[in-house]
Structure 1
Amino acid sequence: MTSSSGSTALGSAALGSRTLGSTSPVWAVPRGTEGIRIMVDGGVARGMTTSECLAGTGLDAVDLDDETAQIWAHQEFVVIRNLLGALGDRPGLGAGIGAHSTLGRTGVIGFMMLAGPTVRAALDRAIPYLALSPTHLRFSLEEGSAGPNGAGIDVASLLAADDEIPADVRTFVVERDLAGLAAALRGAQIDVGITGLETTLGPESAVILGESWGLTADEVRPHAERNRLAITRERLDARLPQGDENTAKLFERQCRELLDDRLARVGVAGQVRSRLRHERESWPSMAEVAGELHIDVRTLRRRLAAERTSFRRLLDEVRHHRALELLALRVPVSEVARELGYSETATFTRTFTRWEGVPPSRARRAVQIERVP
């Protein structure tokens, strides 16, 4: 298996000797609109409008029709929050929306999986490039361990880490992405032979998710430390109906080029900016961001300087933008300060005044006056 080779890209794909997985954080790579289109389809099917689904994302219906449009993870999370707010944060909502997924909607990575030529080869090839797909889970294939509930020695595990997902949307994402994978594989007539599931989800969500894989309640374990699907090794080696090694290699090269191109286009600054917007109330340090990108702080500082910016400047920019968003929503100034990571409202007020020339209270009044018809 060939790893991504772009020298300008941070967090490019890499393979371990035993466990396969992408080292690109879910927030570091801009992606197509497939995931948002799936969620909008699900929202509209449940009575929402496209505008309601997209509120606050900076996107509109025209963007969804643009096959070249690219978005960031935090924009998808805004759509999820819109869905949860309008439809209710209830077990099964994510799984139901994930049912709209198909391999075709994942683009070139889906066609690479169809070309296999085996289930194992399809997974091995796809995992390093999942940043090109709608999923936000970090998948890896692990062999040599027993399956969920400790049963079977001839079972491999498809792991799906959810630790990079903001807590308020995590249940929805786990449901959507794992149920979506089941729907996509089923639609492509790929049987991976799942024999059991353990998941971080609660009991009701876990049972609903298990049903999407054809599992009974006793084959599912909720409140687990991680998400894990058990696969028989026999199924891993099964040939796919449309498998072809040469075609798979061609699609793999296209995936590698696409990933490198996307990372190069947004640069290091774009990736850092995306990380700062990834969670609502989380403001990571420069050292934390560098670690997540698998580089040291000095390298991150040098690459940002080459793009004529700095971590401090990007943090200031993102906080400024978020402050204006929150004030437009009439969030109290004290809450805005807290969400932006300021220990005192007075400190935020001084910083905002430096940004806008007026304190946040006056900026709020200006926004309210502009909204009067």
Structure 2
Amino acid sequence: MTSSSGPSALSSSAVGSSAVGSSTPRSSSPVWAVPRGTEGIRIMVDGGVARGMTTTECLAGTGLDAADLDDETAQIWAHQEFVVIRNLLGELGDRPGLGAGIGAHSTLGRTGVIGFMMLAGPTVRAALDRAIPYLALSPTHLRFSLEEGSAGATGTGADVDCLLAADDEIPADVRTFVVERDLAGLAAALRGAQIDVGITGLETTLGPESAVILGESWGLTVDEVRPYAERNRLAITRERLDARLPQGDENTAKLFERQCRELLDDRLARVGVAGQVRSRLRHERETWPSMTEVAGELHIDVRTLRRRLAAEGTSFRRLLDEVRHHRALELLALRVPVSEVARELGYSETATFTRTFIRWEGVPPSRARRAGQIERVP
């Protein structure tokens, strides 16, 4: 079930998967554009439960329940994972190391076919080269890319390249958790698969405490870690990047790569462009991108986006209205004051929001809440 609530350059060649849908990966897929499996949420729910939360508390506000987590065919959107993260932070505290501790339970096997493709390599560099275009199929929310050379990077030398992990698409309030979880998770997954990538240094956008904890997950000392960097970078020796993997096999890797491409194409085709746009509009709180911005992030022009949405029987304005309606009902159900609901939805005046809500529901927001009417729209 797909819920409706719903990397750049390797060496010098652009790689990645077109968000709108293409059988040949070219440019990076935004984290919000592709529905994903529930592996990431399951890892976080397990972490929350181990720390005293209930599954219901972890999933509150996601539209998911425990049965969805046990359904291997279920698909969710990035914003639903962010809701789980906010639930964890709200209950357990936004403290350094929480994301890293939960990410430490990641394995390549839990990433599905993309993990098996990486194991088939046949080298570490080849494994990363193949995996990067399809990371939207994995639990990660970071955009990874390989950078030849290592100018200015911590723990580098002439024989070192860097693995970059961009976090600019992650909402600010969950960014620290996601960076910790995904980088510590990558370390754990590679270690569990007995893949030594020879990390010699780490730079991260996070603060000192989180940076040290992440460094420890990669076996680095304090001196080999730099916090408050402009970007997240892992320095890797070229010797390790080009080393053969113990289970490496080129033909097997190609087979898994084809399966990744087919899976990505299938997911994009089933949700359509409207599903991708809807997910983008729900990606961040209190931020409403323009049609031009969304088109750019999908690597198409505005006219193409408008035409494709029309072919699916909708429009950008209609989707924005739908998402705002849904978000208004969510906030009102949480007893958020009407004035704050209006502000989060981007209305400069509460009166304007009230008129819009009457158009949606036939009654003012205050009356809808008192009457329990908000419960009838999921």
For 1:20, what is the secondary structure of its paired residue? coil
Q: 1:20 to 1:263 in 2, by over 3 A?
A: closer
Query: Which residue of 2 is the match for residue 183 of structure 1?
Result: 188
Query: Once structures 1 and 2 are overlaid, which stretch shifts more, 290-299 or 148-157?
Result: 148-157
Distance 1:150 1:32 in 2: 35
Q: 1:61 to 1:235 in 2, by over 3 A?
A: same
Alpha-carbon deviation of 1:144? 2.2
Q: 1:154 to 1:15 in 2, by over 3 A?
A: farther
Q: 1:311 to 1:176 in 2, by over 3 A?
A: same
Q: 1:4 to 1:274 in 2, by over 3 A?
A: closer
Q: 1:231 to 1:59 in 2, by over 3 A?
A: same
Query: Which residue of 2 is the match for residue 2 of structure 1?
Result: 2
Query: Once structures 1 and 2 are overlaid, which stretch shifts more, 265-274 or 11-20?
Result: 11-20
Distance 1:208 1:141 in 2: 23
Query: Which residue of 2 is the match for residue 16 of structure 1?
Result: 21
Contact 2:150 2:162 in 1 (8 A): yes
Q: 1:51 to 1:17 in 2, by over 3 A?
A: closer
Distance 2:51 2:73 in 1: 27
CA-to-aligned-CA distance 1:201-250 (integer Å, 9 cap, x gap): 00000000110000011100000000000000000011111111100000
Distance 1:207 1:281 in 2: 32
Q: 1:228 to 1:287 in 2, by over 3 A?
A: same
Q: 1:60 to 1:235 in 2, by over 3 A?
A: same
Q: 1:34 to 1:370 in 2, by over 3 A?
A: closer
Query: Which residue of 1 is the match for residue 364 of structure 2?
Result: 359
Distance 1:370 1:114 in 2: 47
Query: Which residue of 1 is the match for residue 153 of structure 2?
Result: 148
CA-to-aligned-CA distance 1:244-296 (integer Å, 9 cap, x gap): 11000000000000001100100000000000000011100000000000100
Q: 1:3 to 1:284 in 2, by over 3 A?
A: closer
Q: 1:330 to 1:208 in 2, by over 3 A?
A: same
Q: 1:358 to 1:4 in 2, by over 3 A?
A: closer
Q: 1:5 to 1:43 in 2, by over 3 A?
A: closer
Extract structure 1 runs of 4+ deviating beyond 4 A: 1-11, 13-22, 368-373
For 1:148, what is the secondary structure of its paired residue? coil
Contact 2:15 2:26 in 1 (8 A): no
For 2:202, what is the secondary structure of its paired residue? strand
Q: 1:304 to 1:140 in 2, by over 3 A?
A: same
For 2:165, what is the secondary structure of its paired residue? strand
2:234 paired with 1:234: no
Alpha-carbon deviation of 1:154? 1.2
Alpha-carbon deviation of 1:361? 1.1
Q: 1:3 to 1:195 in 2, by over 3 A?
A: farther
Q: 1:346 to 1:99 in 2, by over 3 A?
A: same
Contact 2:150 2:235 in 1 (8 A): no
Aligned match for 1:253, one of 251, 258, 264: 258
Contact 1:104 1:111 in 2 (8 A): yes
Aligned match for 2:314, one of 309, 313, 318: 309
Contact 2:19 2:33 in 1 (8 A): no
Distance 2:316 2:13 in 1: 18
Contact 1:148 1:221 in 2 (8 A): no
Alpha-carbon deviation of 1:364? 1.7
Alpha-carbon deviation of 1:149? 2.8
Contact 1:22 1:138 in 2 (8 A): no
Taking structure 1 as the reference length, the TM-score comes to 0.93
Query: Once structures 1 and 2 are overlaid, which stretch shifts more, 236-245 or 143-152?
Result: 143-152
Is there any run of 5+ residues in structure 1 with no aligned partner, and where? none
Q: 1:39 to 1:150 in 2, by over 3 A?
A: closer
Taking structure 2 as the reference length, the TM-score comes to 0.92
Alpha-carbon deviation of 1:11? 8.2
Contact 1:95 1:180 in 2 (8 A): yes
Alpha-carbon deviation of 1:151? 3.5
Q: 1:243 to 1:295 in 2, by over 3 A?
A: same
Q: 1:221 to 1:22 in 2, by over 3 A?
A: farther
Q: 1:5 to 1:321 in 2, by over 3 A?
A: closer
Contact 2:62 2:84 in 1 (8 A): yes
Contact 1:157 1:230 in 2 (8 A): yes
Alpha-carbon deviation of 1:47? 1.0
CA-to-aligned-CA distance 1:309-353 (integer Å, 9 cap, x gap): 000000000000000000010000000000000011010000000
Distance 1:301 1:349 in 2: 29
